[in-house]
Structure formats: structure tokens, C-alpha cells
Amino acid sequence: MKRLYEKLKHYDLEKVLELEKRDRQFIALQKLEKNIKDKELYLAIVIANSIICYQLSWKWEDYWEEFSDYFSDDSINYNDIVFELSKFISQSKNNKRFIDTKIKRLKKLESFLSEFYDKSKFFYDDMTKLRNLLAKTMWQKKDAKTIVFAVKMFGYAARNIYDFSPYPNEISIPIDSRLIALYESYNEDEKLNIDKFYEKLSSDLSISPLHLDAIVWINYDELINNS
């Protein structure tokens, strides 16, 4: 981990935020926000889409750009989020796998969407409570990949509306294939499992796990090719 730390130690929160602004997923959400008048709808549909953002058919960035383009006509109502997202993934070019399972996940989210409306600022001020409610609603662990990823994308989206709030330290990084590959390339301590590895790296850098995710996501090719 020391080698990875040395490559990332120049990052502070200010530099991370500049990096996140260049994330194609962040840019896609900026475009979406400009085209949806109902900001509660905007934030809720971002969370709902995050819950079904796994086993994609192509790159995540391409999928979020497709999602943004599709919903930028501002023609849906808040109560139709589950129906409209179900219709979207049924014809999506980048999210073709396990459609029936993902639609079931969206239906499970309906109670959360009812509770979320008009409370987006409350949840942005305390994203840990957002994570806890999502995990409870979806019957998943608090560190489940789609749960913490939903918090990350909500944070991205909410910055377009509210003053910036940093991601809490207690919310885990969403473990995916890229993070697994970096862990296998940079872990020199057999006692550190992958969760502890990123927890320690986050602590050593004084950057919360969800902000750390942006660093390794955007710099992945360079980091893995020079490991």
C-alpha cells in the first residue's frame, strides 16, 4: 500500500474536487440537472438509477451519459420514477443484463422514494442516514456496492443544487473490479483484506473513501500500468 500512497499523497480535498468535476459521470449529472425542473425528482432518479447500476453492458460513463440524455426532456413525474426507469433500461444500450432483477430492485425502492421526497437537503447534510435508509429498504449491508455507489452519485448530483458537503468518512468505497486489481497490485501486507486496505489508504491520505474512489477511478489506467 505504501507504493500507492506515495503516488496519491499529493492529493488534498481541493484537488480531488477538481478531479471529480472532470468525471464524465459528474458531467452527465450536471447536464441532467439543467434539464429537470423538479430538483427532488432529479436527485431521486439519480439514486434510483444508481441502485440498478451494476453488470453493465458497457462503460459506466457511457451508461450515465445515456441516462442523462434520455431523461433530459423533463417529461416525467416523481411518482413515475420506477415505471420510467424500468422502461429506460428495457431499451438501454449500456444496461442490458438482468433486466427483470433490476426492475424488481426498483420496485423495492418505492417506499424509499416516498420517504425521500422533500428531504433531499436533510439527507445531503447527513449522507450516512441516506446510506442507512437505502440499505434498510433494499435489505442489503451498509457497505454493499450499489448502496455506497448510490450515495456517491447522490453527492455528485446534490452539488449542482446545494453548497458542497464532503462525503462522510464512515461510508465505504464501492469495491469493483478496478479496485480489486489495484489491491492485488499494491497490497504488500497479507494481513490487510481489501476493505482494510482502502480504509487505511483513505485514513493515511485524510481523504474519505468516496472521494478516494474518484481518484483511483479516474487515474486507474496510469496506476495499474505503472504498478
pLDDT digits (tens, 9 = 90+) for 107-164: 999 999 999 999 999 999 999 999 999 999 999 999 999 999 999 999 999 999 999 9
CA angle 103, 35, 52 (to 5 degrees): 20
Q: What is the pLDDT of residues 152-189, one digit of tens each?
A: 999 999 999 999 999 999 999 999 888 999 999 999 87
Of 7, 142, 145, 200, which is the active-site residue?
Answer: 145
List CB contacts of 174: < 8 A, sequence separation 6 or more. Answer: 145, 146, 148, 149, 152, 210, 213
Closest to 46 measured CA to CA, from 122, 124, 136: 124
Q: Which of 42-46, 57-61, 182-186, 194-198 has the highest mean pLDDT?
A: 42-46
Instruction: Output the pLDDT for position 224.
Output: 87
Angle between helices 145-158 and 39-51 (to 10 degrees): 160
Q: Hey, which CATH number is domain 2-19+171-225, 1.10.1670.10, 3.40.50.720, 3.20.20.70, 3.90.180.10?
A: 1.10.1670.10
Is the pLDDT at 217 greater than 90? The verdict is no
The answer to whether 2-19+171-225 and 23-158 have equal CATH topology is: no
Per the annotation, the verdict on 145 as an active-site residue is yes
Q: Cα–Cα distance between 125 and 147 in angstroms, integer? A: 17
Is the pLDDT at 190 greater than 90? The verdict is no
Which CATH fold would you assign to the domain 23-158?
Endonuclease III; domain 1 (1.10.340)
Instruction: Output the pLDDT for position 62.
Output: 94
Angle between helices 209-218 and 145-158 (to 10 degrees): 90
Q: What is the pLDDT of residues 4-47, one digit of tens each?
A: 999 999 999 999 999 999 999 999 999 999 999 999 999 999 99
Task: Indicate if the alpha-carbon torsion angle 20, 21, 22, 24 is positive or negative.
Answer: positive
> Could you identify the residue written with the cell 474519505?
208
152 to 128, 214, 227: CA distances (angstroms): 11, 10, 26
Of 23, 62, 143, 176, which is the active-site residue?
Answer: 176
C-alpha cell at 117: 421526497
So where are the chain's domains?
2-19+171-225, 23-158
Instruction: Output the pLDDT for position 73.
Output: 85
Q: Which residues in 19-85 belong to E strands, given as ranges?
A: none
Rounded to two decimals, what is the model's pTM?
0.94
The three-class DSSP label of residue 170 is coil
Per the annotation, the verdict on 176 as an active-site residue is yes
C-alpha cell at 119: 428531504
